[in-house]
Amino acid sequence: MIKKILLTGAVFLSLQAIAQQPKQQWVTIKSANLKCWECKVILEKYLVQANQTTMESGLIQWKINLLQGEIKVQYWPDRADESMIKAALNNAGFDANEDKAESESYAKLPPICKRAEEGGGPKPPKPCHIPPVQ
């Protein structure tokens, strides 16, 4: 009888803990200079580092669409928010919607990762959204 009561109590407490967790959220952010696979590699490295340090592992996953120049990020709202994610993109050297990249980080990006008006991005007839064959 006592085992049943303890088991019921444990189940109740675990369900209550699950119910109190915030719901995962998604945000889509456009970036004028996120068009090439090289840019994607740079950004993903930065996001992994930022997720572990400043966002307390608040980022769950992200999907980068190079043809659209956007990133969709799934995150825990109790550890990260849209402004933190946009700041991480800016700090990595990438624009995030209307927010321009941090100038020092942007200057360190390879030429292909610059904004189109500064000569970056895809050049016909070579698409840069596909990694080169090794």
Domain-embedded: residue 66: yes
Structure confidence at residue 60 as a pLDDT band (50, 70, 90): very high
Query: Looking at the 3D structure of the chain, how many domains does it have?
Result: 1
Domain-embedded: residue 132: no
Asked if pLDDT for residue 62 goes beyond 60, the answer is yes
Domain-embedded: residue 7: no
Domain-embedded: residue 87: yes
Digit-coded pLDDT (tens) for 32-48: 999 999 999 999 999 99
> What is the residue range of 107's domain?
23-111
Domain-embedded: residue 116: no
Q: Whole-prediction pTM value?
A: 0.79
Asked if pLDDT for residue 107 goes beyond 90, the answer is yes
Domain-embedded: residue 17: no
Domain-embedded: residue 70: yes
CATH of the domain at 62: 3.30.70.100
Domain-embedded: residue 96: yes
DSSP result, the chain = -HHHHHHHHHHHHHHHHHHHSPPPEEEEEE-TT--SHHHHHHHHHHHHHHHHHTSTT-EEEEEEETTTTEEEEEE-TTT--HHHHHHHHHHHT--BTTBPPPHHHHHHS-GGGS-GGGT-S-BTTB-SSSPPP-
Asked if pLDDT for residue 16 goes beyond 80, the answer is no
| More confidently predicted of 13 and 113 | 113
